[in-house]
Amino acid sequence: MKRYSKLVSTVWLSLLSVLAWSQNNKKKDYDIKEVHKTNEEIIIDGIANESVWEEQEWHPIDQLWLGDAYSPDDFSGRYKLVWDPSGLYLLAEITDDILLDNYEDPLTKWWDEDCLEIFIDENNSGGDHQFNHSAFAYHVDLKGNVVDVTPNQTGKLYNSHVLSERVSTGNITYWEVKILLYDDTYVDDSEQQPQQLSAGKKMGFALAYCDNDSSEHRENFIGSSNHPGFKQDLGWKDASVFGTLILKE
């Protein structure tokens, strides 16, 4: 009987430990932003002439995650978001005095060239996504190629997941982007359909820009979130540091 009681106590303590771990590691809603629905068709052409863009507020890209301090002439950025059932739409305005595309091959050191980096977690679950598709860290380069790391620990093009066009005038570039959302059952090279979005849905999100003017490696990594995990370069590994989007009508 004593042995049975001891076994029950051990099992109970183990269950409590698992529950405590789950609660402590559950993603907390952070940097919460409400994103409004659009009924207007958005043409992905890099020209923000849809009226819905005029109605949305700008959010800054102003947090230095990695690299040296920069001046506003070197970089400044901001973005807007809307959604419809088919996906999430992003408009980014980037001021960058030098646009650098070092490598012809989009799978060569894609993080060291000028690019947008879109962090997206379809169900806002957080947790490890370094070598799995629980979440994505899409790098969108100057040619529109989209790269993330696969479960095989190699880079892969995900151009069908993120549709983008950019228009540059002087030092200012507008990126217009549509992001299709895939859940954590996604398997590479599958026929899986993107998720349909609806009001009330939460998703993990952050946005960043890799800036490189003349170096072998990126000189600055500037993002939208002040979560300390991004300054430890955790964004591409741990979706728990992502902010939270809440979809609204």
Amino acid 16: pLDDT: 36
Closest CA to 114 of 209, 225, 217, 223: 209
User: Mind listing the pLDDT tens digit of every residue in the chain (249 residues)?
Assistant: 443 344 334 334 333 333 333 345 578 999 999 999 999 999 999 999 999 999 999 999 999 999 989 998 899 999 999 999 999 999 999 999 999 998 999 999 999 999 999 999 999 999 999 999 999 999 999 999 999 999 999 999 999 999 999 999 999 999 999 999 999 999 999 989 999 999 999 999 999 999 999 888 999 999 999 999 999 999 999 999 999 999 999
Pairing of strands 172-179, 87-96: antiparallel
Amino acid at 68: D
Amino acid at 249: E
Give dist(CA 22, CA 126) in Å, integer. Answer: 12
Amino acid 26: pLDDT: 72
User: φ, ψ for residue 15 (rounded to 5)?
Assistant: -65, -40
Interior/surface letters 109-135, b for 16+ CB within 10 angstroms, e for the rest:
ebbbbbbbbbbbbbbbbbbebeeebbb
Classify residue 139 by burial, with Cβ atoms within 10 Å: 0-12, 13-18, 19+.
Answer: buried
* Through-space distance between the first and last CA atoms of the chain, rounded to whole angstroms: 60
Amino acid 25: pLDDT: 52
Amino acid 177: pLDDT: 98
Give dist(CA 76, CA 151) in Å, integer. Answer: 33
Q: For each of the domains in the chain, give its residue range(s) and CATH number, in order of start.
A: 30-248 (2.60.40.1190)
- Distances in whole angstroms, Cα of residue 84 to Cα of each of 65, 123, 165, 173, 249: 31, 16, 19, 24, 9
Closest CA to 38 of 27, 48, 30: 48
Kindly give the residue spans of alpha helices, DSSP state H, lying in 40-146. 51-54
Interior/surface letters 192-212, b for 16+ CB within 10 angstroms, e for the rest:
eebbebeeebbbbbbbbbbbb
Partner residues linked to 216 by β-bridges: none
Amino acid 22: pLDDT: 37
Amino acid 3: pLDDT: 37
Amino acid 1: pLDDT: 46
Amino acid 181: pLDDT: 98
